[in-house]
């Protein structure tokens, strides 16, 4: 199809920004927007009128929006705990479903996503933009070309000082607050583990088989409220359940390990803490550096020395066309990957099995911590398909390798 009709559900900061980004794409029409807050809906209708030249229909109930019958896809950017129920309703309505990132609340949610996608034949895609970051895609290219040899160990995480956003959740109507108040686990695993999982061929010849997680005491958020917001603030007496630093180790079927860190309640610069280590070399994001076995001595090479040579073709084209969109361009690319899958009527490059494997880490880490940091088994959401399935670079937007065909 030449163009598609895409709806947006959830019009907070993230959803509103994505709608504005997609509204500038010539092959997308946004005829409907939805949020539980009327003021957000009204603002977005006015904004879409500016960007598109017409006003979309506004909805307060996503079920009414999905019943329109004219949408090919929806982007879900609501609170974490509502992503799955909306995605399930969309797939049952025959609509491609894409959800913003966040972990699941239960393993049941993961299984329901898999079963409904399998039964309806409608794809579900986690909009993990970090999979389309320039460095992540260059390292993916290098992994697939064998520069690191056989992968042994990877690290990743979400290390982001979010104390202001979390503690001001009530006045800003932001969902992070309740999650940090009542849960304790790796609440946001997919930014780090998504790109790493693609490098490790998870669900395509490999899989996660178990994890163990532990967390520290919780001090950062309360200290921030006490020192910055004062005793009159609504969260002054809140007992936050989420530990300040959560560490999770995942074991893979082929013997690799993945170490994840969740760190959002203490002062620190942003990092996804990525590290890819194999028998021939290592990449470390925080050092912006690589080391290979054929180097003389223990020296590091600057990543920029390799980036241009090993840029992923998607990024080579993107820079030639003009980088645009938030987070350095990755927001634009992940939206295009979803849109192009709809237009071609094919599977999304991050499929339902990828999505639930990454999202389930939240639930499983909570279980491990609640049981005194015991190891917990990782479900095989593919029901054995991972054993015989292998990565196949079947389209331009693939994350399974480097596509050799036409754009």
The 10s digit of each residue's pLDDT in 195-244 is 999 999 999 999 999 999 999 999 999 999 999 999 999 999 999 999 99
Residue 406 has pLDDT above 90, yes or no: no
Domains and their CATH numbers in the chain? 4-129 (3.40.50.720), 131-311+352-388 (3.30.360.10)
Residue 399 has pLDDT above 90, yes or no: yes
Tell how far CA 353 is from the center of its chain: 13
Burial (CB count <10 Å: 0-12, 13-18, 19+), residue 302: exposed
Q: Where residue 23 falls among pLDDT bands split at 50, 70, 90?
A: very high
Write out pLDDT tens, residues 156-184. 999 999 999 999 999 999 999 999 999 99
> Which residues does residue 262 pair with via DSSP β-bridges, in sequence order?
158, 246
* pLDDT number for residue 404: 86
Sorted by sequence, the CB contacts under 8 Å of residue 323 that are 6+ apart come out as 329, 332
Write out pLDDT tens, residues 245-260. 999 999 999 999 999 9
* Whole-structure pTM value: 0.97
Residue 1 has pLDDT above 80, yes or no: no
Q: How many Å apart are CA 183 and CA 186, to the nearest integer? A: 9
* pLDDT number for residue 258: 98
Write out pLDDT tens, residues 318-376. 999 999 999 999 999 999 999 999 999 999 999 999 999 999 999 999 999 999 999 99
**Contact indicator for 141, 402 with CB cutoff of 8 Å:** yes
**Contact indicator for 403, 313 with CB cutoff of 8 Å:** yes
Residue 127 has pLDDT above 80, yes or no: yes
Write out pLDDT tens, residues 298-309. 999 999 999 989
User: Tokens 């019943």, residue?
Assistant: 67
Nearest CA among 361, 357, 358, 359 for reference residue 185: 361
Residue 407 has pLDDT above 90, yes or no: no
> Which residues does residue 153 pair with via DSSP β-bridges, in sequence order?
257, 277
> Which residues does residue 248 pair with via DSSP β-bridges, in sequence order?
213, 260
Q: Where residue 22 falls among pLDDT bands split at 50, 70, 90?
A: very high
* pLDDT number for residue 131: 98
Question: What percentage of the chain carries pLDDT values higher than 90?
Answer: 98
| Triad 285, 197, 359: Cα angle to 5° | 105
């Amino acid at each position: 199809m030449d163009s598609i009709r895409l709806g947006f559900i959830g019009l907070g900061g993230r959803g509103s920004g994505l709608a504005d980004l997609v509204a500038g794409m010539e092959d997308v029409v946004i005829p409907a927007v939805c949020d539980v807050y009327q003021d957000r809906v009204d603002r977005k209708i006015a904004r879409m009128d500016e960007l598109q030249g017409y006003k979309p229909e506004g909805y307060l109930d996503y079920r009414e929006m999905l019943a329109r019958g004219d949408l090919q896809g929806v982007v879900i950017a609501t609170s974490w705990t509502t992503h799955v129920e909306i995605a399930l309703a969309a797939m049952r309505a025959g609509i491609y479903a894409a959800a913003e990132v966040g972990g699941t609340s239960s393993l049941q949610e993961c299984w329901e996503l898999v079963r409904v996608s399998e039964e309806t034949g409608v794809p579900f895609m986690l909009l993990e933009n970090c999979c389309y970051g320039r460095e992540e895609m260059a390292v993916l290219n290098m992994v697939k070309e064998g520069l690191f040899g056989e992968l042994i160990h990877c690290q990743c995480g979400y290390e982001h000082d979010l104390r202001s956003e979390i503690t001001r959740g009530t006045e800003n109507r932001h969902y992070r607050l309740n999650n940090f108040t009542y849960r304790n686990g790796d609440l946001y695993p997919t930014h780090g583990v998504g790109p790493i999982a693609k490098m490790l061929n998870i669900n395509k010849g490999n899989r996660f088989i178990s994890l163990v997680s532990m967390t520290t005491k919780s001090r950062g958020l309360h200290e921030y409220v006490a020192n910055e917001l004062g005793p009159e603030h609504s969260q002054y007496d809140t007992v936050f359940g989420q530990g300040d630093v959560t560490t999770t180790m995942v074991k893979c079927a082929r013997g690799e390990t993945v170490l994840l860190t969740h760190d959002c309640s203490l002062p620190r610069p942003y990092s996804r803490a990525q590290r890819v280590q194999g028998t021939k070399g290592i990449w470390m994001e925080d050092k912006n550096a690589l080391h290979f076995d054929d180097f003389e001595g223990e020296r590091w090479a600057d990543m920029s020395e390799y980036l241009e040579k090993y840029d992923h073709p998607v990024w080579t084209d993107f820079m030639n066309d003009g980088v645009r969109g938030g987070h350095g361009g990755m927001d634009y690319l992940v939206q295009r990957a979803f849109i192009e899958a709809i237009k071609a009527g094919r599977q999304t490059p991050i499929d339902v099995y990828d999505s639930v494997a990454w999202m389930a880490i939240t639930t499983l880490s909570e279980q491990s911590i609640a049981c005194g940091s015991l190891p917990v088994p990782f479900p095989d959401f593919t029901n054995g398909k991972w054993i015989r399935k292998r990565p196949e670079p079947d389209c331009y937007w693939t994350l399974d390798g480097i596509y050799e065909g036409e754009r």
